Structure 1
Amino acid sequence: MPPVGAALWRSLRAHQVYGANTDVGKTIVSTVLCNAIQRNQAAPRLPSSSPHLQRYANGILTECLYQFDEPVSPHIAARQKSLTIPRDDEILTAVRQTLSDWAGTGINFALVETAGGVHSPGPNGNSQADLYRPLRLPIVLVADSRLGGISSSISAYESLRLRGYDVHSVLLFRDDYYQNHEYLRTYFQKKSIPLVPLPSPPARPQSHEPDAVARDEEAMAAYYDRVARGTDVTGLLEELTAKNTARIERLEAMPGRAHETIWYPFTQHHGMAPTDITAIDSAYDDFFQTYRPAASPEGGLRATFDGSASWWTQGLGHGNPDLALSAAYAAGRYGHVMFPGNIHEPALSLAETLLESVGNPRLQKVFYTDNGSTGMEVAVKMGLRAACHRYGWDASQEQISILGLKGSYHGDTMGVMDCSEPSTYNKKVEWYRGRGYWFDFPQVRLSQGTWRIAMPVDMEALGPDLQFASLSAVFDLEARVQSEAGQRYKEYIRATLETLVQQHGMKFGALIMEPVILGAGGMLFCDPLFQRCLTEVVRGHPELFDEDAPRASSTPAGQPSWSGLPVIFDEVFTGLYRLGRRTAASFLGVDADVAVNAKLLTGGLVPLCTTLASAEIFEAFSSPEKSDALLHGHSYTAHAVGCQVAVDSLRTMMQMERDGSWDASRRDWQSSSSSDGDSPEAWSTWSHGLVHDLSYGEGVEGVFAMGTVLSISLKDTQGGGYTSTAAQGLQQALAAGGREFAVHSRVLGNVLYLMASITAQAEALRAIEGLLRAALLDGAVSIPGATD
């Protein structure tokens, strides 16, 4: 089923009525509002969902989409064997479609009334606050006037705010004994939320009394007339109308205001117009809710797939209520506290969880920074210090370089920028020097239904291109490392290093790699065997870097010692299940001496980075002199909010792995594996059939999928690369989308990639795959420069 867009229309003012508790009078409040609308407008037709509304607000259009036979909690009603329970997405679709139909017929006011309290369960057991969150309707909160109602009302409000709802008004019945309305009026005034107290409704006659029904109806009719005349409900409705109008006006104005004030990263502003900027009203799961004034005169919102996973950060979905609660808990408990010389529970718990779960016996220490770039900056400092300490080099007197791969990118801070070859990202940056050597490497992609490893054009020593029947066969490194290709890789790497050191006098202090996939360089899928061989040569031949270098051994604590050069893995993008495994290093069968994680570390909620290092690397900074310490830090180091969110995010992801959450995707890719029924070495949440079919696309040069990543390289007779425009047509087609939703994507030259969270729903991904098929296989998109 296609994703559901948030509900917003220019003509229809739609609100959701939530109660602070059950039996607080939501239906009576809804009737009061509808009656007030009728009194102030000529013969309106207003939707409702209650027989009570039909009786006491003439002319109301009602729609009850789903109803249980018994007035009990849905989790009890659902136990009836004969009952067909609608899925949550079916309920959302039905609600939004009903509202959309009403908006198209001139109805200008709608209420969606919930059942019970804010957290009363929906039909499938989920809290209603979570069930209806994708619609993100503005809230009319009916507070509780009874004993304990102040607490339940404030708790309900906070629960709604925690989930990103806008509470536009509060109503409750006046009780002169408890006087909750007096306290709550002051509370909500501070938050600029109007509160309207209503007279208490008349007591219902006992059912056995004569004419009970007739007297009850007469009393209620008189009550509604009295409320309409004696309270400022009309003023409240005017304020609700103003807020609806203001929301649309803000969304319409945001691109223009942003164009005047914002300097966007990685964006050439020359020729940029406000129409190139997308206004995002909210986000939930894998989708933005984007405003599209040109496509909808009604001023509507549309679900838009977050195709870059918000720059690769999304792991557990936008608006995740569990992570929001984790952040709120840590913010309430700590805020931010000074870290050096101190410890707090979230930072300690995260460090211990990481060290226990990454499966790397070398790693013993955790250093906290704010983002991937600064985490890699620390890693470079660690690696270079360790090498200089061991070999007696003086970095102030000679240049110590790094080894890496072409197309690598480790961030934009000054140190790590020098760890990448000259490129569009850095060659015009004034301080850039490029201190290192970067190997070209064989690349993996699926083309014409065959997994191919293409050797670099100018590296004949690596041998001919290779072909494999499945992606899992590419990752069968224990077999491949002894192959002829493995031997050629090792010899080529050893000979190259020997030339660089002995003939060119270069000194290297660390090997830095992004395991498997080089992200910002263009989603470059490196042959994992090449990275394995590069690591083994560096560690197995320390004499290449210093003729007196010791061989690999163990530290006094029994941990593996680094040999040759410290090996640093940049897993900022590829780590923590992005490629389907807890670590990308596990694909290579190699343990790094330093590993960096960010992005998915906090599930996509807040920035945080960890640099994990071996005890031996740590000891290189140990000295009686303060100046020998790792003098690096940030004001918000080990931010308690980020650490707590990361702890809960990691535990959730690991539990998903234990629960087999991705078993369906594994089975889908298992049929293409040569593992004879075993779990495939590599798989993706993107369907194997799609990837296979796209590989035959006329304008497609190659494609691959791993974990949540899908990468499509388009043909470009001009050579491709970061400045290529070959992918723009496909990007525009996805942005146009279909009737129900669109896709926001980023391109890296001639490469368009899509990425999902690890919690992405299969139905949503299949719908997006339909757009891709239409664009690339059905000829909907013309790829410029794609002729052979």
Structure 2
Amino acid sequence: MRTTITTTTKTMPATAITSSVLRRSLRAYQVYGANTGVGKTVMSTILCGALHRAFPHERVWYLKPVSTGPQEDADDGHLARFSPRTSSKTLVQYGQPVSPHIAARTAAPLTDSAIREQIQRHVTECAEDGQGTLLLETAGGVHSPTPSGSSQADLYRPLRLPVLLVGDHRLGGISSSISAFESLHIRGYDLNTVLVFEDAQYENHLYLRDYFAERDIPLLSLPPPPPQSSTTESDRERMAEYYEEMSARPCVLDTVTALSTSHTLRLARLDTMAPQAHKHIWYPFTQHSPMTPASIMTIDSAHGDFFQTYCPSSSSEIKSSSPPPPENTLQSTLDGSASWWTQGLGHANPTLSLAAAHAAGRYGHVMFASAIHEPALSLAELLLKHLGNQRMQRVFYSDNGSTGVEVGVKMALTAASERYGYGDRMKEVGVLGLKGSYHGDTIGAMDCSEPSTYNKRVHWYQGRGHWFDYPQVKMKDGTWVVEPPEGQEEEFGPVARFTSLDEVFDVEARDSSAAAATYKKHILSILDRLVREEGKSFGALIMEPVMLGAGGMLLVDPLFQRTLISTIRASHSLFSPTPSPEDANTWIGLPVVFDEVFTGLNRLGPFSPSTLLGAQPDISVHAKLLTGGLVPLAATVASEAIYDAFLGSEKSDALLHGHSYTAHAVGCKVAETSVKELLKLQESGAWDGFQEPWNEARGVVDSRKDSKVAGRVWSMWSPTFLSTVSHRAEVESVVALGSVLAIKLRDENPGYESNSAIGLQSALSCVDGGFGIHSRVLGNVFYVMTGQTTEVDVVRRVEQKVLEAL
């Protein structure tokens, strides 16, 4: 077996950052085949000849990334023979005529990212050589394996090249051609043109022409190449004549001209998207007065942890805020906010995309009232099983986190009102919560938060409740501290220092501490004043467990939240003169609602943040990572005791809440798939590389053999990095847990309206080291969030960029 591998993996970074391929001077297309033996190389040779005719002063390149079989039969050699003006190249040639994943077994390992990196390098070289067209031909069919064993449809997807699909002209070719198109379409490929040979017996080209015409995709059909003769020399002469004739056909010349036009139109559309958006789009959480088209990021596609963002040319009316890589019109930009905290399994995850397609094809959307479908039931069973909360028995579906919280609050207030007779009083029932909390922008969810920038101009807003202040966990100058609220040292005690984050979260050991007694005393005094002295009524305790997101990535002392829950549950007599229920699974005191929209589903490490508190809610709300960022869906999970409060003889006794798309089958199927993928990551040791530095800091050699470290806190951000950042003069403090990193910068006027983090945000957006970082800021708090599938090397590179920017 002869193997030629031009990829040099030793000099590459551990993780190559893939950019989509779009160059102004280079028109690049990817040739896929509906099957093996459909004539991809013949069609490529015809197109190359036509390109030389249509654009005589331009270059033409042919690239075969992976090929198998003898070197003398390689496809680039065929191009060199019959289209000598074309610059042809093969990156990887395995001598054995078998599938690449089999041929690769006896060669050096070759990753998908290594192949993409070589393609990008070759594209750069071609673009530097001048104006022209590049055809990149794949191997076999759409899903033929790569050397690593993945599908080549997934290997090449990040490059975002428009596709020329060579259909199958043989018996059964209609089915394979349409199947190939659908596989590419589901993965976000743009199918530019279909090419197929004519066959008088099967006439596949006629059927496919009509099929693709309905989808506005042109089809070019051509006579097949001449049959083989008795001699090689004769075959070559006949093929040369065939290529000469086909490449000169007007329909073929029209096709390559149309390819050039489509490339120009794509660039033109990208050029105008930001100005058009500036005219017509009203953005969320955005002050539009200072906004210009240049400040709007145009996203051409997304894959994994990265957006592929457009870099306008220097002649464009829009000026890029950061210089693009040489000659490239698209740049890789890290999705540093995880697209508003929804991403965990990566953009364009094919597993989630296929789950969505399956549910869309099977159900679309179906009515859910008094009905059931498999995705909704399977998801409910999966959540109830893995939340590990024996109280929970019921799942209610809604559209997003805010509506999920609104449902949960309705549940809690009704349950409390039924038990305590609040419904008979013409009196407002409020909630207890935490300062700085944010539960969404629907009116009910908004009313569960104290007055703030988010709601002060909403005319219907009425803060309905009381919000406790609390100590926060921070790292300062390399030391983890629990810091009391500003000016409340006498109430909460001085700053407490801890040897590790583990010690902070060892809440069972801290239950007997002086801090726990102080917290309990403080909570009881406030409750007594609110209920007994002021006569207020409360129907729920609602909180974001462990970390408050929109409030500024505030890491609450877990002992305070744990004590708040246990104190309210132990204060049943404060809310009702009747004895507390004896059932251990029912709620007492007040129903406890956990808003896990941001913090749940492995965002902070464990599947549920309740694990970190050692306390379980009566109601919990799940969204964002629930569907891996693909579609909106929320699940509000409740105990049987909460559910029982809505049973009665009248319809008005029921929970009269719903949405047109309640339990959307597509959303439920995607969520079920997403949760299973997260559980698989959790159980497979996929995060061991991130946990290792934390275990080393603990002095643990092998965490898998040491049960004492099971469930301990950790972060994807390394302890050394956190300590280094916390020592910087401009940094007030830093926190990190799971995939979340938050850096609080010093500011005399801190808060949501502060601008102190914008400089760091802007510095990180510049393309350096292969990619920029798109991020959001919360006043003087800069935060970055990885996904649950982000690789260690990417995080370490982000850490380095943050240190350089600071």
Specify the TM-score bucket, using the shorter chain as the normaliser.
over 0.9
Q: 2:46 aligns with which of 32, 49, 54?
A: 32
The letter of the residue matching 1:753 is Y
Tell me the secondary structure at the aligned position of residue 489 of structure 1. Answer: helix
Q: Any idea what the Cα deviations from partners look like across 1:333-379, whole Å, max 9, x if unmatched?
A: 11111101111111111111111110001111111100010010011
The question of 1:42 aligning with 2:66 is answered no
Tell whether 2:694 aligns with 1:669: yes
1:572 is matched with: 597
- Local SS of the residue matching 1:438: strand
Q: Alignment partner of 2:480: what SS?
A: strand
Q: Which amino acid aligns with 1:129?
A: A
- 1:564 is paired with a residue whose SS is coil
Matched, 1:723 2:753: yes
- Answering whether residue 728 of structure 2 is matched by residue 706 of structure 1, we say no
Assess, with a 3 A threshold, how the Cα gap between structure 1 residues 552 and 534 changes in structure 2: closer, same or farther.
farther
SS of alignment partner, residue 66 of structure 1: strand
Task: Summarize the alignment of residues 102-501 of structure 1 with structure 2, pairs less than 5 Å apart.
Answer: 102-205=126-229, 209=230, 212-230=231-249, 232-293=251-312, 294=320, 295-296=323-324, 298=327, 300-394=329-423, 397-459=426-488, 460-501=490-531
Matched to 2:91, the amino acid is L
Rounded to whole Å, the distance in 2 between the matches of 1:529 and 1:290 is 43
8 Å CA contact retained: 2:505, 2:612: yes
Shift of residue 626 of structure 1?
0.8
Structure 2 Cα separation of the partners of residues 2 and 733 of structure 1? 22
How far did residue 671 of structure 1 move? 2.1
Contact 2:21-2:328 at 8 Å conserved across structures: no
Equivalent residue runs for 1:591-670 within 5 Å: 591-670=616-695
1:92 alignment partner in structure 2: 116
**3-state SS, counterpart of residue 204 of structure 1:** coil
Residue 422 of structure 1, CA deviation: 0.5
Contact persistence 2:102–2:147 (CA under 8 A): no
- Separation in 2 of the partners of 1:67 and 1:283? 30
How far 1:201 sits from its partner (Å)? 0.8
Describe the SS at the equivalent of 2:138: strand
SS, match of residue 361 in structure 1: coil
**Aligned partner letter, 2:85:** G
Matches of 2:529 and 2:192, distance apart in 1: 70
Paired residue total: 763
- Whether the 8 Å CA contact 2:597–2:624 is kept in 1: the answer is yes
Structure 1 unaligned blocks of 5 or more:
777-788
Are residues 444 and 520 of structure 1, via their aligned partners in 2, closer, same or farther at CA, if it must alter by over 3 Å?
same
Which residue in the other structure is 2:68 paired with? none
1:697 aligns with 2:728: yes
- 1:757 maps onto 2:787 in alignment: yes
Distance 1:8 1:322 in 2: 26
Give 1:780's aligned residue.
none
| Residue pair 1:684, 1:705 contacting (<8 A) in 2 also | yes
Structure 1, residues 147-181: CA drift from partner, whole Å, max 9, x if none?
11111110000000000000101101111111110
Name the Cα RMSD after superposition.
1.4
Counterpart secondary structure, 1:502: helix
Once the two structures are overlaid, the 10-residue window that deviates more, 428-437 or 689-698, is 689-698
Deviations 1:710-730 (A, max 9, x none): 111111122x10001110000
Correspondence 1:584-595 to 2 at 5 A: 584-595=609-620
Please tell me the residue identity of whatever aligns with 1:154. Answer: I
Q: 1: distance between equivalents of 2:147 and 2:28?
A: 23
Tell me the alpha carbon deviations over residues 42-80 of structure 1, each in whole angstroms, 9 at most, x when there is no partner: 353321231111111122112221121212101211221
Q: Please list the CA deviations of residues 461-514 of structure 1 after superposition, one character each: whole Å capped at 9, or x if unmatched.
A: 211111111111111011011111111111111111111111221111100010
Distance 1:767 1:204 in 2: 55
Shift of 1:565: 0.4
Cα separation, 1, equivalents of 2:622 and 2:132 = 50
Corresponding residue of 1:508? 538
Helix, strand or coil: the match of 1:671?
A: helix
Q: Is the 8 A contact 2:196 2:222 kept in 1?
A: yes
Q: Which moved more, 1:356-365 or 1:386-395?
A: 386-395
8 Å contact from structure 1 (residues 540, 551) kept in 2: no
Q: Which residue identity does 2:25 align to in structure 1? A: S
Length-normalised TM-score, structure 1 = 0.95
- Which amino acid in 1 is paired with 2:797? A
Distance of 1:760 and 1:258 partners within structure 2: 31
Alignment-mate amino acid for residue 222 of structure 1: E
**Do the aligned partners of residues 567 and 728 (structure 1) sit closer, same or farther apart at CA in structure 2, a change above 3 Å counting?**
same
SS state of the match for residue 479, structure 1? helix
1:457: Cα distance to partner?
A: 2.0
Query: Aligned to 1:346, what secondary structure does the other structure show?
Result: helix
Out of 64, 80, 105, the position equivalent to 2:90 is: 64
Rounded Cα–Cα distance in structure 2 between residues aligned with 1:629 and 1:198: 66
Q: What's the CA shift for 1:428?
A: 1.4
| Cα distance in 1, alignment partners of residues 578 and 414 from structure 2 | 16
The one-letter amino acid paired with 1:39 is R
8 Å contact kept, 1:453–1:465: yes
Deviation of 1:614 (Å): 0.6
How far is the alpha carbon of 1:398 from its aligned partner?
Answer: 0.5
What TM-score, normalized to structure 2? 0.93
Aligned residue in 1 for 2:104: 78
Q: Percent identity?
A: 53
Deviation at 1:675, TM superposition (A): 7.4
Structural mapping, 1:762-777, within 5 Å: 762-776=792-806
Deviations 1:622-658 (A, max 9, x none): 1101111110000000000000111111111111111
CA distance in 2, matches of 1:358, 1:454: 31
Asked if the contact 1:473/1:673 (under 8 Å) is kept, the reply is no
Cα distance in structure 1, aligned partners of 2:728 and 2:54: 60
The answer (yes or no) to whether the contact 1:471–1:673 under 8 Å persists in 2 is no
Amino acid at match of 1:595: S
Cα distance, 1:397 vs. partner? Answer: 0.5
Q: Aligned to 1:104, what secondary structure does the other structure show? A: helix
Tell me, yes or no, if the aligned pair for 1:44 and 1:59 is still in contact at 8 Å: no
2:555 to 525, 550, 557: 525
Q: In structure 1, how many angstroms separate the alpha carbons of the residues matched to 2:578 and 2:331?
A: 61
Q: CA deviation at 1:299?
A: 6.3
Q: Distance in 2 between matches of 1:395 and 1:410?
A: 28
- Conserved? CA contact 1:46–1:108, under 8 Å: yes
The one-letter code matched in structure 1 to 2:656 is L
Measure how far apart 1:395 and its partner are: 7.0
The one-letter amino acid paired with 1:250 is R
Cα displacement string for residues 423-466 of structure 1 (whole angstroms, at most 9, x for unaligned residues): 00011110111011101110111111100111012322211111
Which of 24, 36, 40 is matched with 1:10 structurally? Answer: 24
Q: What do residues 687-723 of structure 1 show as CA deviations (whole Å, max 9, x unaligned)? A: 22222211112211111211111111111122x1000
The farther-off stretch of 62-71 and 138-147 is: 62-71
